């Protein structure tokens, strides 16, 4: 698939997501996920899933990465890379898609890169997964 992102930026996003996966706190599911987002500044922010003994309090890697970026002052997120460590990389869950849509450059235009632990990746757009996000 074509991309507006440079090969260097994709490389950095993918390797940051893979490394972040190693920091997941997933003692209940055993399913570790890492994510990396790139803000408008082109800085990268990592996230990993953080589980809790009260299972419903778990936060996905994607949201941790987005909140990390927003807490650092970013308001636009151009791209996200996600590594779930599976042969067929898992796309973001519905809740994370809605959170990602909040910070997309314009409707649906955020790049979503799914990658394996070996660094293979495939790129799509947020609108491929969530064509009609909720908005007020």
The footprint of ligand THU (CB under 6 A) covers 26, 29, 31, 33, 49, 51, 58, 60-62, 92-93, 96
CB 79 within 8 A of CB 105: no
**Quick one: 29 or 41, whose CB is closer to ligand THU?**
29
Q: Which of 4, 42, 62, 123 is catalytic?
A: 62
Closest distance of CB 118 from ligand THU, Å:
19
Closest distance of CB 26 from ligand THU, Å:
5
What span, in angstroms and rounded, lies between the C-alpha atoms of 111 and 4? 9
What span, in angstroms and rounded, lies between the C-alpha atoms of 24 and 125? 25
Closest distance of CB 92 from ligand THU, Å:
4
**Quick one: 41 or 131, whose CB is closer to ligand THU?**
131
**Quick one: 40 or 59, whose CB is closer to ligand THU?**
59
User: Is residue 74 annotated as part of the catalytic site, yes or no?
Assistant: no
**Quick one: 41 or 52, whose CB is closer to ligand THU?**
52
Closest distance of CB 38 from ligand THU, Å:
18
Give the residue from 4, 10, 2, 64 showing the smallest Cα distance to 38. Answer: 10
Provide DSSP, 28-40: TT----EEEEEET
Helix (H) / strand (E) element for 14: namely: helix 7-21
Q: Which residues contact 110 (CB under 8 A, 6 or more apart)?
A: 77, 78, 79, 80, 100, 101, 103, 104, 125, 126
Catalytic residues: 62
């Amino acid at each position: 698939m074509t991309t507006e992102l440079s090969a260097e930026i994709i490389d950095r996003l993918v390797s940051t997501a893979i490394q972040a996966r190693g920091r997941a706190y997933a003692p209940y599911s055993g399913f570790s996920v890492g994510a990396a987002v790139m803000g408008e500044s082109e800085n990268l922010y990592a996230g990993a899933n953080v589980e809790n003994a009260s299972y419903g309090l778990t936060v996905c890697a994607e949201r941790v990465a987005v909140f990390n970026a927003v807490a650092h002052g970013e308001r636009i997120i151009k791209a996200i890379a996600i590594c779930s460590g599976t042969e067929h990389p898992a796309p973001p869950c519905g809740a994370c898609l809605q959170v990602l849509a909040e910070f997309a450059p314009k409707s649906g235009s955020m790049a979503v890169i799914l990658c394996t632990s070996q660094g293979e990746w495939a790129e799509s757009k947020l609108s491929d997964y969530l064509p009609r996000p909720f908005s007020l």
